[in-house]
């Protein structure tokens, strides 16, 4: 079975470029999520890993879609290899089952991790400058009318976090924050 894993970092980003790239591979099952790759605790990633069976092939646009952490990327690859699941990156295009491929994967993972760290540092610097100039006052508060009703639906397992975030048109981290705040009040 051919499986596609497509990921963008935020709800606002568009996954169309990755979806289009997958069309040439006769994909049978697609997992799409809009969440950061800071860790592997992502619902669609975990569902895909659980779904994949021996002989399946997972296609990703590039390895950074799986992880921005070298350690996490290598652990994911080992997990897939243990299940005898093939992994294909459309962008990098090398065989990760060879020693050279494993080296290249490790180097790419390190570069992706370095890029993420640099991006976060530039973001912090930009926010600090904007705050000093009085142009940045932090994120606007997100308020959800009648959140208790939505919270109860989530607690009763009527909706998943991903489904609820989509319904409320907020990101998963924002929903997590709303849930945590709600639990502290109750």
pLDDT digits (tens, 9 = 90+) for 94-117: 767 778 878 888 888 788 889 889
**Inside any domain, residue 85:** yes
| The pLDDT of residue 58 is above 80 | yes
In a domain, 14, yes or no: yes
Which positions ≥6 away from 102 have C-beta within 8 Å? 96
- In tens, the pLDDT along 137-158 reads 777 778 888 889 999 998 899 9
Q: Are residues 88 and 29 in the same domain?
A: yes
Q: Tens of pLDDT along 72-98?
A: 988 998 899 899 998 888 988 776 777
DSSP per-residue codes, 62-74 = SGGGT-SSHHHHH
Residue 81 domain-assigned (yes or no): yes
In total, how many domains does the chain have? 2
Q: Would residue 138 count as lying in a domain?
A: no
Q: Which residues are catalytic?
A: 9
Q: Are residues 7 and 65 in the same domain?
A: yes
d(CA 49, CA 80): 7
Whether residue 131 lies inside any domain: the answer is no
Q: In terms of residue numbers, what domain contains 177?
A: 147-185
Is 170 a domain residue?
Answer: yes
Beta bridge partners of 29: 3
Instruction: For residues 84 and 19, state if they share a domain.
Output: yes
Task: Indicate whether 75 and 165 sit together in one domain.
Answer: no
């Amino acid at each position: 079975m051919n499986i596609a894993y497509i990921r963008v970092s935020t709800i606002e980003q568009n996954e169309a470029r990755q979806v289009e790239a997958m069309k040439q591979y006769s994909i049978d099952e697609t997992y799409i999520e809009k969440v950061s790759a800071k860790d592997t605790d992502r619902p669609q990633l975990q569902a895909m890993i659980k779904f994949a069976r021996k002989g399946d092939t997972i296609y990703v646009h590039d390895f950074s879609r799986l992880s921005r952490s070298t350690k996490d990327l290598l652990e994911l690859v080992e997990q897939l290899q243990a299940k005898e699941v093939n992994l294909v990156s459309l962008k990098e295009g090398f065989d990760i089952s060879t020693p050279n491929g494993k080296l290249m994967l490790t180097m790419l993972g390190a570069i992706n991790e370095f890029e993420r760290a640099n991006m976060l540092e530039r973001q912090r610097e930009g926010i600090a400058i904007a705050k000093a100039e009085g142009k940045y006052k932090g994120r606007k508060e997100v308020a959800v009318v009648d959140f208790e009703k939505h919270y109860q639906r989530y607690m009763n397992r009527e909706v998943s976090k991903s489904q609820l975030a989509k319904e409320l048109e907020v990101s998963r981290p924002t929903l997590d924050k709303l849930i945590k705040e709600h639990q502290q009040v109750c």
